[in-house]
């Protein structure tokens, strides 16, 4: 059976394997690609996470719930989870995307994971898809600093530096890849005090900056 290792990580075996195959198919590989499944999976993910947070944190106000959910369903978190279950090697990509390292691109990994969630709800139902989502997310949520998760990566980094009277990071666009309608931004984040420079890649400058800031946060934690 194809994708056996991946289905084991997901905790779900498809009755219609073609749905999983499509969820892993990028538009560069075939006209039967995963973008519609990604659209569906995005809604599944948001609903499953919102329900879980609402139930698990009954005292948390709406604003904090919204911020926490946004941090959990963003591209960076999705890409990390996709890497954890090794989605990259399973992706079906066109030759150009393969050569350019598409299987490692956070946006591509995140899209594929959302598409898998969409594939599960079509193969089964929402309760099963919710179980798959939470199977990946609950261990992650258990490890989180909830106070920090209420703030995005750039805000966390800024507050950390300001609290220590350190100059704020400099963000610069390093590269813009792709056609005008489907651009990918590569942004650097430089912190002179620590001699740290990280990069983030995403479908917008804002997303790329957040990913770069998250990586800078991680490097700072490792230096402590």
* pLDDT tens per residue, range 175-195: 998 887 778 999 999 999 999
pLDDT of residue 50: 97
State pLDDT tens for residues 2-36: 778 899 999 999 999 999 999 999 999 999 999 99
Residue 177: strand pairing partners:
184
Q: Mean pLDDT over all residues of the chain? A: 91
| End-to-end Cα, the chain, rounded Å | 46
Of 143, 156, 151, nearest to 71 by C-alpha is 151
**pLDDT top residue among 48 and 59:** 48
Q: Tell me the mean pLDDT in the region 124-143.
A: 94
Which residues have C-beta within 8 Å of that of residue 221, sequence separation ≥ 6? none
pLDDT of residue 148: 62
Active-site residue 111, yes or no?
Answer: no
Choosing from 38, 97, 114, 201, the catalytic residue is 114
Choosing from 42, 97, 152, 209, the catalytic residue is 42
Active-site residue 114, yes or no?
Answer: yes
The alpha-helical segments, DSSP class H, found in the chain are 4-10, 17-23, 35-56, 62-73, 75-84, 95-99, 106-123, 126-142, 146-149, 153-163, 205-223
User: Could you give the domains of the chain?
Assistant: 4-149 (1.10.1520.10), 153-223 (3.30.160.20)
Pick the range with the lowest mean pLDDT from 131-140, 173-182, 211-220.
173-182
């Amino acid at each position: 059976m194809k994708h056996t290792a991946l289905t084991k990580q997901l905790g779900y075996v498809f009755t219609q394997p073609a749905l999983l195959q499509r969820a892993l198919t990028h538009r560069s590989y075939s006209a039967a690609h995963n973008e519609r499944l990604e659209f569906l999976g995005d809604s599944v993910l948001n609903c499953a996470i919102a329900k879980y947070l609402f139930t698990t944190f009954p005292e948390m106000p709406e604003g904090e719930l919204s911020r926490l959910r946004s941090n959990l369903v963003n591209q960076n978190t999705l890409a990390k989870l996709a890497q954890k279950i090794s989605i990259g090697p399973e992706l079906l990509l066109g030759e150009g995307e393969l050569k350019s390292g598409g299987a490692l691109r956070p946006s591509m990994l995140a899209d594929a994971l959302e598409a898998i969630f969409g594939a599960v709800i079509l193969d089964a139902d929402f309760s099963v898809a919710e179980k798959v989502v939470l199977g990946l997310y609950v261990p992650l949520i258990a490890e989180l600093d909830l106070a920090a998760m209420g703030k995005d990566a750039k805000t966390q980094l800024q507050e950390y530096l300001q609290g220590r009277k350190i100059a704020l990071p400099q963000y610069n666009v390093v590269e813009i890849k792709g056609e005008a309608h489907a651009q990918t931004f590569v942004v650097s984040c430089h912190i002179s005090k620590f001699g740290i420079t990280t990069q983030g890649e995403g479908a917008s400058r804002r997303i790329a900056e957040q990913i770069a800031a998250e990586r800078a946060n991680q490097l700072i934690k490792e230096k402590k």
